[in-house]
């Protein structure tokens, strides 16, 4: 007879019937009823209404019945917290049952009931169970501490359970040790700062001993815990490795991977000169290979991890290429991962075999797999130069198959091969062109168009080919449109006579008929380039491209190191740090490999560095396919060219006319232009300097005493953000006039002329009193110093922060903070009576107090220093050994600020109290004080 009969009661009034049966006197009937309840629960019916009746059955000596009632409780206690209390007594009693199975069952179940009120009652039984004579109960209680901690961490700490748990690491029973380690690790993971797993050589030794005795799962807990330990030196690292390596022979794949994690991590500390290092490397390969005979899911985890290991230490598996060959019946996710690893391991030594395999895969039926295989052939060509020719001919063979997606994929990778080996394989272009019509994927179309444009001079009918794409221009995806635009411009530059019409057509399609801003911008750039200086256009558009590097899709090195610390976990499968997919800050600690020892650093040798990259050099990380294409496109943007203004166009086409109204009106709308040719419409709309708030550093440098304090010049606009124009500057105030001292440096290759500046509205109405005068054109590498007189009569707008000033020189925006003291006027001295009256008059809430630290000046020195910056001492007093200076100052807009400066001889800090009717300036006045006093 089976349990399935319990599922078959579907009469009406079922709950009512069950209730009656649960309250029956007959034991057997009761038990049957509980089973029916559990069966209903299993199929998802709500039987919580029976809570009191089921709990009544809890006091039984029938173990099976008890387990069922416990199960019911775990499920429903949360929804019936008040009634759950009814169960507490039985739990407490069961925790003292002579049968350890029942004691453990009670403590295990109690921990699973996540009801606050119950947890309090759990403490006493748990304490006893942690010290139980039976290890089965102790190991269950150890886990219960972690459960309780999850519900109420404070309670666990207050009750001292954490210490008891730590003691259990020294328990005589290996399973208790393992569970205690697991529980502590779990708690530590959610409370990274707790320093619970205070691992030291002694406790490590205990763990390593327990490792030999506990179950496979316990071994995993211990190994995962060991992986968090940081050995104090390479000798300790080696001795731990020696004791961990036997685990590589365990039948359980998870034990093997956790052992691999510990070894990979601690290896970092071993010198590569060490014999042991080599031994360890050799020991790692066979178990990794054997993981590939495990169940497919475990193979998948293993392969994702091997992918990391191969990047970190390629020498481990470099001879094991064959085991990654794909089998017909491998699940697709295994196939794709194997393919990835094959490419990583590809080298001159094994390339022939790899290529033969890839060719085989490329004729399979699974589309994703085939595509990846074709792509892999391209990657091999780029990675192993000697194989490039064979790869290209393999790709051509594949193109002959005429299988649509194979052809498209092949064209995409051939484009990369052309990039890597320019002027080598162009003979195949004809074959490629034959397949033009079959390309329907944007990436393949874009790649083909790029090829046609790049080699336009060798393709007789390049204009026809490109024109054929132009017909449906607006239906193409953006990447194809951009590519087509560039390709036709290239074509025009190479064969100007026959293709004028075509280029005008594409320019007008891109600029006038498109609502894609990127496309329009690029169209305008080309248009302007072609119309102003075709020679420069040629230099820009047909510029030599940088080579693409060999390794692709490498994981960024710091991330790789972090992921090595997470071998075997989800992070290693996703190739993402846990912080990327685990919610919240909890449980996310960045792990890193132990620092390399000095000796091993020097031992870094070329053959151990990642293949293809010279030692010490970070391998270039190539962006994925899509970005690469973007890169290609952007190349054409080139460096900015400034030349003679618009009118000097020497192109025979009517481009200037075409540029007409729209463009000019756009330019007209801007404030100033300098240098004019850089006024590409693309930049007008977007303030380049929005993120450019290079704040003026007030606290350093030397001051001059001939006037207000002058800060040294700081760079306000770096050259790289302004097409070669670097601006640095500072502000000064001398005898009543404010000026902005600018230094303009031309770091571009072209002459710059016609500078102008305009200020944004600001709080104090600071504005240029005269136009910016730069008399001679600024040659490359030339620097010019200009002093721009400023007035405070410009339009005023309150800015945040208060003294923020924005400047724009043509398209270049920058912002800087001007120091407030340049606005302190010369007639800022208040008379004493006035001062007293005003001080009283200003409400106390307007008073602000500041500490000026590390300013060991006496009252005299401070007073004279401040005076030169127009802060005037009105009166001076000595109160209880402290010097009090009463001072006043006035801002250009007439705001008075009163100050009390308290200086205590021998104390480097002084106290500044400020009172002002406009309290928002206080902070800045304080900063001015600090700047002046410290310089």
Partner 1 sequence: MSASAVFILDVKGKPLISRNYKGDVAMSKIEHFMPLLVQREEEGALAPLLSHGQVHFLWIKHSNLYLVATTSKNANASLVYSFLYKTIEVFCEYFKELEEESIRDNFVIVYELLDELMDFGFPQTTDSKILQEYITQQSNKLETGKSRVPPTVTNAVSWRSEGIKYKKDEVFIDVIESVNLLVNANGSVLLSEIVGTIKLKVFLSGMPELRLGLNDRVLFELTGRSKNKSVELEDVKFHQCVRLSRFDNDRTISFIPPDGDFELMSYRLSTQVKPLIWIESVIEKFSHSRVEIMVKAKGQFKKQSVANGVEISVPVPSDADSPRFKTSVGSAKYVPERNVVIWSIKSFPGGKEYLMRAHFGLPSVEKEEVEGRPPIGVKFEIPYFTVSGIQVRYMKIIEKSGYQALPWVRYITQSGDYQLRTS
Q: Of 99, 110, 174, nearest to 145 (Cα)?
A: 110
Bridge partners, 733 (sequence order): 738
Q: Of 452, 445, 438, nearest to 499 (Cα)?
A: 452
User: What is the rounded CA–CA span in Å between residue 317 and residue 168?
Assistant: 40
Burial class for 539, CB neighbours closer than 10 Å (0-12, 13-18, 19+): middle
**One of 254, 309, 744, 830 touching partner 1 (CB under 8 A):** 254
Total Cβ atoms within 10 A of residue 544: 8
Q: What angle do the packed helices 500-511 and 478-494 form, to 10 degrees?
A: 150
Q: Among residues 60 and 597, whose Cβ is nearest to partner 1?
A: 60
| N-term to C-term CA, the chain | 95
Q: Among residues 2 and 665, whose Cβ is nearest to partner 1?
A: 2
Q: Among residues 174 and 675, whose Cβ is nearest to partner 1?
A: 174
Minimum distance between the CB of residue 251 and partner 1, rounded to whole angstroms? 5
Detail the DSSP E strand segments found in 610-722. Answer: 714-717
Rounded-to-10 torsion of CA 170, 171, 177, 183: -80
Stretch that binds partner 1, among 82-90, 361-369, 721-729, 884-892 (CB under 8 A): 361-369
Q: Is 62 in the site for partner 1 (CB under 8 A)?
A: yes
Stretch that binds partner 1, among 579-587, 654-662, 679-687, 780-788 (CB under 8 A): 579-587
Minimum distance between the CB of residue 685 and partner 1, rounded to whole angstroms? 38
Minimum distance between the CB of residue 254 and partner 1, rounded to whole angstroms? 4
Q: Is 706 in the site for partner 1 (CB under 8 A)?
A: no
**One of 35, 93, 713, 829 touching partner 1 (CB under 8 A):** 35
Minimum distance between the CB of residue 248 and partner 1, rounded to whole angstroms? 8
Q: Is 119 in the site for partner 1 (CB under 8 A)?
A: no
Q: Which two tokens stand for residue 77?
A: 């206690």
User: What is the rounded CA–CA span in Å between residue 738 and residue 401?
Assistant: 77
Give the 3-state DSSP-derived string for 109-158, with helices as H, strands as E and coil as C: HHHHCCCHHHHHHHHHHHHHHHCCCCHHHHHHHHHHHHHHHHHCHHHHHH
**One of 143, 169, 710, 912 touching partner 1 (CB under 8 A):** 143
Provide the CB-side half-sphere exposure for 105 (13 A, CA).
20
* Structural contact between residues 341 and 322, judged by C-beta atoms closer than 8 angstroms: no
| Residue 606: its H or E element | none
Minimum distance between the CB of residue 40 and partner 1, rounded to whole angstroms? 11
Q: Is 63 in the site for partner 1 (CB under 8 A)?
A: yes
**One of 120, 167, 360, 434 touching partner 1 (CB under 8 A):** 360
From residue 202 to residue 221, the character string flagging contacts with partner 1 as x (rule: CB under 8 A) and all else as - is ----------xxxxxx--xx
Minimum distance between the CB of residue 294 and partner 1, rounded to whole angstroms? 8
Q: Is 275 in the site for partner 1 (CB under 8 A)?
A: no
Q: Among residues 176 and 451, whose Cβ is nearest to partner 1?
A: 176
Total Cβ atoms within 10 A of residue 670: 15
User: What is the rounded CA–CA span in Å between residue 249 and residue 326?
Assistant: 25
Bridge partners, 903 (sequence order): 883, 910
Q: Is 161 in the site for partner 1 (CB under 8 A)?
A: no
**One of 50, 68, 487, 899 touching partner 1 (CB under 8 A):** 68
Q: Is 2 in the site for partner 1 (CB under 8 A)?
A: yes
Q: Among residues 102 and 449, whose Cβ is nearest to partner 1?
A: 102
Q: Among residues 78 and 458, whose Cβ is nearest to partner 1?
A: 78
Q: Is 559 in the site for partner 1 (CB under 8 A)?
A: no
**One of 19, 128, 206, 250 touching partner 1 (CB under 8 A):** 250
Q: Is 139 in the site for partner 1 (CB under 8 A)?
A: yes
Of residues 479 through 498, those in contact with partner 1 by CB under 8 A are none
Bridge partners, 875 (sequence order): 886
* Structural contact between residues 256 and 619, judged by C-beta atoms closer than 8 angstroms: no
Q: Is 125 in the site for partner 1 (CB under 8 A)?
A: no
Q: Of 719, 511, 569, nearest to 257 (Cα)?
A: 569
Q: Is 434 in the site for partner 1 (CB under 8 A)?
A: no
**One of 121, 421, 574, 672 touching partner 1 (CB under 8 A):** 574
Omega into 783 within 30° of 0, i.e. cis?
no
Q: Is 44 in the site for partner 1 (CB under 8 A)?
A: yes
How many chain residues interact with partner 1 (CB under 8 A)? Answer: 114
What's the gap between Cα 802 and its chain centre? 34
Of residues 70 through 109, those in contact with partner 1 by CB under 8 A are 71, 74-75, 98-102, 104, 108
User: What is the rounded CA–CA span in Å between residue 183 and residue 145?
Assistant: 7
User: What is the rounded CA–CA span in Å between residue 264 and residue 306?
Assistant: 11
Minimum distance between the CB of residue 579 and partner 1, rounded to whole angstroms? 9
Give, as one character, the DSSP assignment of residue 384. Answer: -
Cα–Cα distances in Å, from 778 out to 165, 532, 678, 823?
A: 75, 21, 15, 32
User: What is the rounded CA–CA span in Å between residue 590 and residue 876?
Assistant: 57
Q: Is 575 in the site for partner 1 (CB under 8 A)?
A: no
Biggest CA pair distance of the chain = 111
Of residues 293 through 332, those in contact with partner 1 by CB under 8 A are 293, 295-298, 300-302, 322-323, 325, 327-328, 331-332
Of residues 792 through 851, those in contact with partner 1 by CB under 8 A are none
Give, as one character, the DSSP assignment of residue 230. Answer: -
Q: Among residues 102 and 452, whose Cβ is nearest to partner 1?
A: 102
Q: Is 405 in the site for partner 1 (CB under 8 A)?
A: no
Minimum distance between the CB of residue 257 and partner 1, rounded to whole angstroms? 5
Minimum distance between the CB of residue 303 and partner 1, rounded to whole angstroms? 11
Q: Is 344 in the site for partner 1 (CB under 8 A)?
A: no
Q: What angle do the packed helices 442-454 and 404-420 form, to 10 degrees?
A: 40
Spatial neighbors of 695 by CB under 8 A, at least 6 apart, are 816, 817
**One of 348, 363, 773, 904 touching partner 1 (CB under 8 A):** 363
Q: Among residues 580 and 918, whose Cβ is nearest to partner 1?
A: 580
Of residues 633 through 692, those in contact with partner 1 by CB under 8 A are none
**One of 578, 610, 675, 689 touching partner 1 (CB under 8 A):** 578
Q: Among residues 112 and 548, whose Cβ is nearest to partner 1?
A: 112
Q: Which two tokens stand for residue 210?
A: 């327990």
Minimum distance between the CB of residue 331 and partner 1, rounded to whole angstroms? 8
Q: Is 570 in the site for partner 1 (CB under 8 A)?
A: yes
Q: What angle do the packed helices 216-226 and 234-244 form, to 10 degrees?
A: 170
**One of 568, 610, 689, 703 touching partner 1 (CB under 8 A):** 568
Q: Is 155 in the site for partner 1 (CB under 8 A)?
A: no
Q: Is 585 in the site for partner 1 (CB under 8 A)?
A: no
Q: Of 906, 831, 910, 908, nearest to 875 (Cα)?
A: 831
Q: Among residues 258 and 728, whose Cβ is nearest to partner 1?
A: 258
Of residues 168 through 207, those in contact with partner 1 by CB under 8 A are 173-176, 179, 182-183, 185-186, 189
Q: Among residues 363 and 699, whose Cβ is nearest to partner 1?
A: 363
Q: Among residues 69 and 653, whose Cβ is nearest to partner 1?
A: 69
Stretch that binds partner 1, among 59-67, 117-125, 384-392, 521-529 (CB under 8 A): 59-67
* Structural contact between residues 887 and 865, judged by C-beta atoms closer than 8 angstroms: no
Spatial neighbors of 745 by CB under 8 A, at least 6 apart, are 719, 725, 726, 727, 728, 781, 782, 783, 784
* Structural contact between residues 406 and 366, judged by C-beta atoms closer than 8 angstroms: no
Q: Is 251 in the site for partner 1 (CB under 8 A)?
A: yes
**One of 571, 692, 710, 740 touching partner 1 (CB under 8 A):** 571
Q: Is 581 in the site for partner 1 (CB under 8 A)?
A: yes
């Amino acid at each position: 007879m089976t349990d399935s009969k319990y599922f078959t009661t579907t009469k009406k009034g079922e709950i009512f019937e069950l209730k009656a049966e649960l309250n029956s006197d007959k034991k057997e009937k009761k038990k049957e009823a509980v089973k029916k309840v559990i069966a209903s629960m299993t199929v998802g019916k709500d039987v919580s209404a029976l809570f009191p009746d089921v709990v009544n059955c809890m006091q039984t000596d029938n173990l099976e019945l008890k387990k069922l009632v416990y199960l019911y409780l775990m499920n429903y206690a949360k929804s019936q917290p008040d009634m759950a209390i009814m169960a507490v007594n039985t739990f407490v009693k069961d925790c003292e049952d002579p049968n350890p199975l029942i004691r453990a069952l009670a403590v295990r179940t109690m921990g699973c009931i996540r009801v606050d009120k119950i947890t309090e009652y759990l403490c006493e039984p748990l304490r006893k169970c942690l010290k139980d004579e039976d290890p089965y109960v102790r190991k269950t209680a150890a886990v219960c501490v972690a459960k309780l901690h999850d519900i109420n961490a404070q309670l666990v700490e207050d009750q001292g359970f954490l210490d008891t748990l730590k003691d259990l690491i020294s328990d005589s029973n290996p399973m208790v040790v393992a569970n205690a380690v697991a529980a502590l690790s779990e708690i530590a993971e959610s409370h990274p700062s707790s320093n619970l797993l205070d691992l030291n050589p002694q406790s490590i030794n205990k763990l390593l001993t327990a490792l030999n005795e506990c179950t496979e799962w316990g071994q995993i807990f211990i190994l995962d815990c060991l992986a968090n330990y940081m050995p104090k030196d390479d000798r300790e690292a080696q001795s731990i490795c020696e004791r961990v390596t036997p685990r590589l022979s365990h039948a359980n794949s998870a034990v093997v991977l956790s052992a691999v994690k510990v070894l990979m991590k601690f290896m970092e500390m071993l010198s590569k000169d060490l014999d042991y290092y080599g031994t360890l490397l050799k020991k790692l390969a066979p178990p990794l290979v054997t993981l590939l005979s495990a169940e497919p899911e475990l193979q998948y985890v293993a392969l994702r991890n091997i992918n990391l290991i191969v990047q970190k230490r390629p020498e481990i598996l470099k001879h094991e290429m064959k085991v990654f060959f794909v089998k017909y019946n491998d699940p697709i996710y295994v196939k794709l991962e194997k393919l990835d690893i094959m490419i990583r391991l590809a080298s001159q030594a094994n390339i022939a075999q790899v290529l033969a395999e890839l060719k085989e895969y490329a004729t399979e039926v699974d589309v994703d797999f085939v595509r990846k295989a074709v792509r892999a052939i391209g990657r091999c060509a780029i990675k192993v130069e000697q194989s490039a020719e064979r790869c290209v001919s393999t790709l051509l063979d594949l193109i002959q198959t005429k299988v649509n997606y194979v052809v498209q994929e092949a064209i995409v990778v051939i484009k990369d091969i052309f990039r890597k080996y320019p002027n080598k394989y162009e003979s195949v272009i004809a074959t490629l062109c034959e397949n033009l019509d079959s390309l329907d994927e944007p990436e393949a179309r874009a790649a083909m168009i790029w090829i046609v444009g790049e080699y336009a001079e060798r393709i007789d009918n390049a204009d026809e080919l490109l024109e054929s794409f132009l017909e449906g221009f607006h239906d193409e995806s953006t990447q194809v449109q951009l590519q087509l635009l560039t390709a036709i411009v290239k074509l025009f530059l190479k064969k100007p006579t026959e293709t004028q019409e075509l280029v005008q057509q594409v320019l007008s399609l891109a600029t006038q008929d498109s609502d894609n801003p990127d496309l329009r911008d690029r169209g305008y750039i080309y248009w302007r380039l072609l119309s102003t200086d075709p020679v420069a256009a040629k230099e820009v558009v047909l510029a030599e491209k940088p080579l693409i590097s060999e390794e692709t899709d490498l994981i960024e090195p710091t991330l790789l190191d972090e992921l090595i610390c997470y071998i075997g976990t989800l992070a290693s499968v996703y190739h993402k740090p846990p912080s990327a997919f685990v919610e919240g800050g909890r449980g996310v600690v960045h792990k890193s490999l132990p620092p390399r020892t000095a000796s091993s650093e020097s031992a870094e040798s070329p053959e151990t560095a990642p293949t293809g990259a010279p030692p010490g050099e970070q391998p270039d990380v190539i962006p994925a396919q899509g970005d690469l294409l973007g890169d290609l496109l952007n190349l054409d943007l080139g460096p900015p060219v400034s030349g003679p203004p618009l009118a000097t166009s020497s192109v025979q086409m009517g481009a200037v006319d075409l540029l007409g109204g729209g463009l000019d009106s756009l330019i007209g709308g801007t404030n100033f232009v300098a240098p004019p040719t850089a006024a590409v419409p693309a930049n007008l709309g977007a303030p380049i300097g929005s993120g450019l708030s290079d704040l003026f550093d007030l606290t350093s440098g030397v001051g001059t005493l001939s006037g207000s304090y002058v800060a040294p010049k700081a760079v306000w606009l770096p050259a790289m953000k302004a097409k070669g124009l670097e601006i640095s500057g500072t502000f000064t105030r001398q005898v009543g006039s404010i000026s902005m001292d600018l230094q303009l440096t031309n770091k571009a290759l072209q002459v710059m002329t016609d500078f102008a500046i305009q200020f944004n509205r600001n709080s104090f109405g600071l504005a240029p009193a005269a136009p910016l005068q730069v008399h001679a054109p600024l040659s490359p590498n030339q620097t010019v110093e200009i002093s721009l007189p400023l007035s405070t009569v410009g339009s005023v707008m309150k800015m945040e922060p208060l003294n923020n000033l924005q400047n724009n020189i043509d398209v270049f925006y920058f912002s800087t903070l001007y120091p407030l003291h340049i606005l302190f006027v010369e007639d800022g001295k208040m008379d004493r009576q006035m001062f007293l009256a005003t001080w009283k008059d200003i409400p106390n809430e307007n008073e602000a107090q500041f500490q000026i630290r590390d300013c060991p000046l006496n009252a005299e020195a401070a007073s004279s220093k401040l005076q030169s910056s127009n802060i005037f001492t009105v009166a001076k007093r000595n109160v209880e050994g402290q010097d009090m200076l009463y001072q006043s100052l006035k801002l250009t807009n007439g705001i008075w600020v009163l100050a009390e400066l308290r200086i205590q001889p021998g104390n480097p800090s002084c106290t500044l109290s400020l009172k002002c009717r406009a309290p928002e300036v206080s902070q800045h006045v304080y900063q001015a004080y600090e700047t002046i006093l410290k310089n």
